[in-house]
Structure 1
Amino acid sequence: MNSRASQLKAFDRLLTIMDELREQCPWDKKQTMETLRHLTIEETYELGDAILDKDLEEVKKELGDVLLHIVFYSKIGSETKNFDIADVCNSICEKLINRHPHIYSDVKVENEEDVKRNWENLKLKEGKTSVLEGVPKSLPALVKANRIQEKVAGVGFDWEEPNQVWEKVEEELNEFKTEVQSGNQDAMESEFGDVIFSMVNYARFLNINPENALERTNKKFSKRFQYLEEKAKGLNKPLKDMTLSEMDVFWEEAKRLPK
């Protein structure tokens, strides 16, 4: 691995290149925080894909893309004299020191749960009026549900045992089933949301990340369906002309493929 000196030299190189691009490249000169925002979101999702694929070479590349965006925003901030990369680094350093009194002060903790509780309580002391303030409004709903539950659990609003959570899942499933039978579309949607929310909560108790779990299933389904498409193409037969029974033969084959 690189030495600290080499790491700092590489970071300095990136800052120099950013200065040069901002001054000389027509595209880079035009960018604003607003124009970069959607690209940053896209890069973050690409990093997430690489992590789920366990492709460490790709993780390295995508981390570089995300880092570039951090440096880019900081460069724009320096041009308006609001902040620069040093301010960004010092800000997170101060936050980490303040949020880890068990490392940088004399607070004692027994385990990870104590750390989480301290973290949320410290944020309230810093002026936040709700533990949910730190949950971005634009998060995808599944991720947001997980973060909401983690946040409230951090201040003690939580179930005690996993079986209690599963009972809640069953309760919500029964309520959803009742509304399906009633045919009330709005009520069905509301109860279906409750089912998903309770399942996300149960996943948390089992140390399962629901977003990762669902994305694994998405990838698995896509791989199997693409296998089915290839087989249909080999038969020169469009999928729409195949019966479900015919398609199921190839689907079962796909399930036996190496993961």
Structure 2
Amino acid sequence: MKKLLDIMAALRNPETGCPWDIKQTFKTVVPYTLEEAYEVADAIENGDMDELKSELGDLLFQVVFYAQMAKEQGDFDFNDVVDAVSDKLINRHPHVFAGVECKDEKILHEAWEKSKANERDTQSSENKASILDGVARALPALKRAQKLQKRAAREGFDWPDIEPVLAKIEEEVGELRSAIKEDSTEAVFEESGDVLFSCVNLLRHLNVDAEESLRGCNQKFEKRFGYIERSLIQQDRSFQECSLDELEGLWQKAKNEA
């Protein structure tokens, strides 16, 4: 770690460092951090351990980058980051570090959430205007929707089971149909968001991660679409030369192959 921290300090040296690294700010680095996180996920999904090793290094470098900029401003340094996360993990795992007996996974999850809630409660009232504060706005929309719903559910703002959730989806789809009939771009935009939000709520009730579910669906679509592309190449045909029924037939074959 010292080697990496020294490299980062050298890159940010105002006199001898790299011009690109020197001019970066917290905000300008954020897009790279998000990109690196997705590349880590991609390496894991591909089962490529060499690539994962490389991408984890890139992601770690992002943390070091932020810590160096914070150190230059006198806010905190990398050691403070390590101390903070270490303390947090110890506090959230009393069954490991404090001898508390807790073997049931559900109870463990409840204790974890309670610990997180207590940490939020210790924040100053000025920084805690809403129970939804702290759900990062930069999260992917599906992930953020699920976290917002989960936070609200802890306060009792939730359906008791999935039946009313399913009914809500049907209600929102009906409203979307009406918006489409009205040919209102603004209404379609709003109602389509409501449909997605309701679907995320259903997945939350089913203990399904909405973001991961859609990522899996994307991969499945790519695989099946690739099958259709290869089939058409073998037939020396293009998509435009096929009817929708023919393409649907190839899609069904692709599903069977998968």
Q: TM-score, normalised by structure 1?
A: 0.79
The answer to whether 1:15 aligns with 2:5 is: yes
1:42: Cα distance to partner?
0.8
Could you tell me whether the CA contact under 8 Å between 2:228 and 2:251 is conserved in 1?
A: yes
SS in 1 for 2:194: helix
1:102: Cα distance to partner?
7.3
Could you tell me whether the CA contact under 8 Å between 2:169 and 2:198 is conserved in 1?
A: yes
**Counterpart mapping for 1:131-142 below 5 A:** 131-142=131-142
Q: Which runs of 5+ in 1 are unaligned?
A: 1-10
- Evaluate the alpha carbon distance shift between residue 36 and residue 118 of structure 1 in structure 2; reply closer, same or farther with a 3 A threshold: closer
Identify the match of residue 71 of structure 1 among 52, 64, 68: 64
CA RMSD for the aligned pairs? 3.0
1:250: Cα distance to partner?
3.0
Identify the match of residue 35 of structure 1 among 23, 28, 31: 28
Could you tell me whether the CA contact under 8 Å between 1:124 and 1:131 is conserved in 2?
A: no
Deviations 1:131-187 (A, max 9, x none): 211112233322221111121123332222222322322332333334434444433
Deviations 1:189-220 (A, max 9, x none): 32222221111011011111111111111111
Q: Hey, what's the Cα distance between the residues in 2 that align with 1:30 and 1:176?
A: 47
Q: TM-score, normalised by structure 2?
A: 0.80
Identify the match of residue 42 of structure 2 among 49, 55, 58: 49
Q: Hey, what's the Cα distance between the residues in 2 that align with 1:169 and 1:203?
A: 12
Identify the match of residue 109 of structure 2 among 112, 120, 123: 112
Q: Which runs of 5+ in 2 are unaligned?
A: none
Q: Hey, what's the Cα distance between the residues in 2 that align with 1:51 and 1:150?
A: 26
Once the two structures are overlaid, the 10-residue window that deviates more, 221-230 or 51-60, is 51-60
Q: Hey, what's the Cα distance between the residues in 2 that align with 1:125 and 1:29?
A: 36
SS in 2 for 1:130: coil
1:97: Cα distance to partner?
4.8
Q: Hey, what's the Cα distance between the residues in 2 that align with 1:22 and 1:170?
A: 55
Letter in 1 for 2:4: L
Q: How many residues align?
A: 248
**Counterpart mapping for 1:194-205 below 5 A:** 194-205=194-205
1:86: Cα distance to partner?
0.8
User: Identity rate of aligned residues, in percent?
Assistant: 39
Q: Hey, what's the Cα distance between the residues in 2 that align with 1:43 and 1:99?
A: 27
